[in-house]
């Protein structure tokens, strides 16, 4: 069995509002998988259905492994101390506490504080520590780095990569495209109740089209061009610069960012 999660025909409505209109996708064992979509697309609803926290109307979800779920912020009592929460969760799950893991997540530095006194980043590290207490095979992270500074974000990315390296499957919902691009093996894009794309970031680039972005820095200015023919566009641009005696300092060619491709897919779907 290579799939950690299989979702077939998942449907969920809130009253007459159809949020999930028959989702079909698989998450492979050991991959970092991201669920993307604009606000209200149904990412949290999908995750909660998979996690077993929310009832769905129809469809089937097959889970192959033990799950660990990162709590949303302010889910713990205000005055509980991090190690009290850890002990509570360990007792609840009948698991031994892994102090090496807790130290790696920086729990030692915050052990004397109460939950209410923790920063956003410290809360998220505690939530991750609690999600890992039952030694899960599949870890769910809903917007894991929202509100974190660069250092906090990089440190959490390091932890997530470490979890992948020991064979865990990570499922996350995020709005941070740069994060998803660097961290995730595959992504699914949710739009108006459907999965409109599921695959790798480079497959998404191929789907969006053979578009290239040329960035040129001259002595006078920085200019960007969009093209589907690099050779012709570069030859014409460079000969034009040469004729006008404009000196080119730098040229970069790329195929656009995940964010640009995500926006393009959303635009096409809206049409």
Residues at the contact surface with ligand ATP, assessed by CB under 6 A: 14, 19, 37, 39-45
Q: How many angstroms separate the most distant Cα atoms in the chain?
A: 76
The CB-of-192 to ligand ATP minimum distance in angstroms stands at: 11
- Smaller CB distance to ligand ATP: residue 37 or 68? 37
The CB-of-35 to ligand ATP minimum distance in angstroms stands at: 8
The CB-of-19 to ligand ATP minimum distance in angstroms stands at: 4
Length of the chain in residues, anyone?
271
The CB-of-42 to ligand ATP minimum distance in angstroms stands at: 4
The CB-of-170 to ligand ATP minimum distance in angstroms stands at: 17
Ramachandran angles phi, psi of 118, nearest 5° = -80, 150
Classify residue 61 as exposed, middle or buried by CB count within 10 Å of its CB (0-12, 13-18, 19+). middle
Helix (H, G, I), strand (E, B) or coil at 15: coil
Quote the CA–CA distance of 247 and 254 in Å, as a whole number: 21
Quote the CA–CA distance of 160 and 163 in Å, as a whole number: 5
The CB-of-54 to ligand ATP minimum distance in angstroms stands at: 8
Ramachandran angles phi, psi of 116, nearest 5° = -65, -20
- Smaller CB distance to ligand ATP: residue 175 or 211? 175
Classify residue 2 as exposed, middle or buried by CB count within 10 Å of its CB (0-12, 13-18, 19+). exposed
- Smaller CB distance to ligand ATP: residue 10 or 133? 10
Helix (H, G, I), strand (E, B) or coil at 141: strand
User: How far out from the chain centre does Cα 125 lie?
Assistant: 16
For 73, the token pair is 């912020």
- Smaller CB distance to ligand ATP: residue 16 or 165? 16
Residues 6+ apart with CB under 8 A from 185: 28, 31, 32, 33, 200
- Smaller CB distance to ligand ATP: residue 47 or 201? 47
The CB-of-122 to ligand ATP minimum distance in angstroms stands at: 22
């Amino acid at each position: 069995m290579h799939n950690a999660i299989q979702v077939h025909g998942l449907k969920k409505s809130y009253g007459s509002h159809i949020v999930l209109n028959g989702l079909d996708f698989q998450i492979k064992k050991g991959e970092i998988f991201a669920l993307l979509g604009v606000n209200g697309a149904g990412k949290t609803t999908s995750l909660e259905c998979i996690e077993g926290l929310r009832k769905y109307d129809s469809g089937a979800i097959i889970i192959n492994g033990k799950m660990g779920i990162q709590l949303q912020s302010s889910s713990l009592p205000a005055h509980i101390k991090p190690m009290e929460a850890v002990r509570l969760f360990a007792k609840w799950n009948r698991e031994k506490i892994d102090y090496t893991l807790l130290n790696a997540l920086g729990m030692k530095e915050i052990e004397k504080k109460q939950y209410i006194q923790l920063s956003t980043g410290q809360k998220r590290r505690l939530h991750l520590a609690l999600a890992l207490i039952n030694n899960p095979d599949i870890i769910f992270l809903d917007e894991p780095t929202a509100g974190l500074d660069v250092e906090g974000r990089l440190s959490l990315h390091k932890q997530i990569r470490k979890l992948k390296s020991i064979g865990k499957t990570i499922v996350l919902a995020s709005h941070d495209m740069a994060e998803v691009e660097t961290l995730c093996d595959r992504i699914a894009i949710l739009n108006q109740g459907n999965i409109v794309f599921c695959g790798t970031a480079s497959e998404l680039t191929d789907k969006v089209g053979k578009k290239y972005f040329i960035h040129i820095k001259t002595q006078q200015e920085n200019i960007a061009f969009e093209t589907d023919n690099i050779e012709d566009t570069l030859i014409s641009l460079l000969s034009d610069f040469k004729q006008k005696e404009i000196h080119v300092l730098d040229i970069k060619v790329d195929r656009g960012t995940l964010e640009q491709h995500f926006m393009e897919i959303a635009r096409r779907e809206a049409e």
